Amino acid sequence: MKKLLLITTGGTIASGHSHSGGLAPEKNGADMLPVLEDVSFDVLDLYAIDSTDVTSEHWRLLYNAVTEKLPDYDGIVILHGTDTMAYTGAVLAFTVNTDKPVILTGSMLPFGVPDSDAPGNIQFAALIAKYGKYTGVHLVFANRVIGGADIAKVNSTDKDAFRRYSGFRPERTVRFPENGGRLPAVVKLTPFTAGTDIMRAAEGHSGMVIETYGAGGLPTGEITEAVTELAKKMLIIITTPCLGGTDLERYEVGRRALAAGALPGGGMSAECAAAYLWITENSELQHIASGCE
């Protein structure tokens, strides 16, 4: 008989209506257990938050729980909110080195409401964990299986809310930050962004992720000048909101970003790149290959 651990962290999947009328986490794991033949479950209700409230301390609690408990189980299923799923998935994918399944899932509708996708997502996640075909950290959602560092939420209402960003997979795992890590800045480039915005955003941070356009690049002038100056003292990664990732060699604006000293995100989404910068605190980070399938 397989033995699985269900870890709950809150999110829509565990939510009910609060006194103010909005959804807030309230259910325990014992209320949401699937029934599978030849599988026994233990439950760890780790914390109960809307995933919008996630912090690095929550990641520490989750990482510690996964790494401490995993030797005693055939796999772990983690119930998590969808809004920051991409960050949590990347953090775990970069730090948890295992040949067992660690499966994230959640839902767009709370468990127990009519037509909820929660029971189906939990059931499928548990099946994936039971059979162990997908080892390491993955998201299971709406019958999709997506690598933990490759998660892109593309819809806030549709039950089929996630997509594979690029096929990115970490080439190695790194040590979880012992001291909490220094925080990277994440900046979204728009036609309204000024060079001074980039400089201000960098203050007090250990590195920067700039989410640009299309295949990636920087506009001529003060923004490129700001990145050139910042790249002398911190690592700057260029990413894109577009599925598929960046290719800074394709256009002149991308080559301009490389000449300024920025690193290409390759197959990393902005969430993935930010998580990696935070985990490594810059000291171990070098240019990494796209890692795409």
**Has 87 been annotated as catalytic?**
no
- Is CATH 3.40.50.1170 correct for 2-164? yes
> For the residues of 32-73, what is the DSSP string, one character each?
S----TTEEEEEEEEEEE-GGG--HHHHHHHHHHHHHHGGGS
- One fold for 2-164 and 185-280: yes
pLDDT class for 287, splitting at 50, 70, 90?
very low
**Has 251 been annotated as catalytic?**
yes
pLDDT at 20: 53
Contact (CB, 8 A) for 257 and 218: yes
Cross-strand bridge partners of residue 263:
237
Active-site entry in 8, 12, 105, 224:
12
Cα–Cα distance, 93 to 72 (Å, whole number) = 20
Active-site entry in 74, 88, 150, 153:
153
| The model's pTM | 0.93
Helix (H, G, I), strand (E, B) or coil at 187: strand
Q: pLDDT tens for residues 176-234?
A: 987 766 789 999 999 999 999 999 999 999 899 999 999 999 999 999 999 999 999 99
Vertex 134, ends 240 and 121: CA angle to 5°? Answer: 80
pLDDT at 169: 95
Q: pLDDT tens for residues 17-37?
A: 545 556 666 678 999 999 899
**Has 232 been annotated as catalytic?**
no
**Sign of the alpha-carbon torsion through 7, 10, 13, 15:** positive
Cross-strand bridge partners of residue 75:
4
Active-site entry in 83, 98, 159, 213:
83
The correct CATH number of 185-280 out of 3.40.50.40, 3.40.50.800, 3.40.1180.10, 3.40.50.2300 is 3.40.50.40
Domain boundaries, the chain: 2-164, 185-280
Mean pLDDT of 260-289: 80
Cα–Cα distance, 212 to 275 (Å, whole number) = 17
pLDDT at 282: 38
pLDDT at 286: 43
User: What is the residue type of 277?
Assistant: L
Q: pLDDT tens for residues 67-83?
A: 999 999 999 999 999 99
Mean pLDDT of 248-273: 97
Alpha carbon 100 to chain centroid, angstroms: 19
Place of tokens 């203050």: 203
Active-site entry in 82, 95, 105, 240:
82
Place of tokens 């000291």: 283
Cβ neighbours of residue 186 under 8 Å, at least 6 residues apart? 208, 209, 211, 270, 274
Active-site entry in 47, 63, 134, 251:
251
Give the pair of three-digit tokens for residue 191: 């036609």
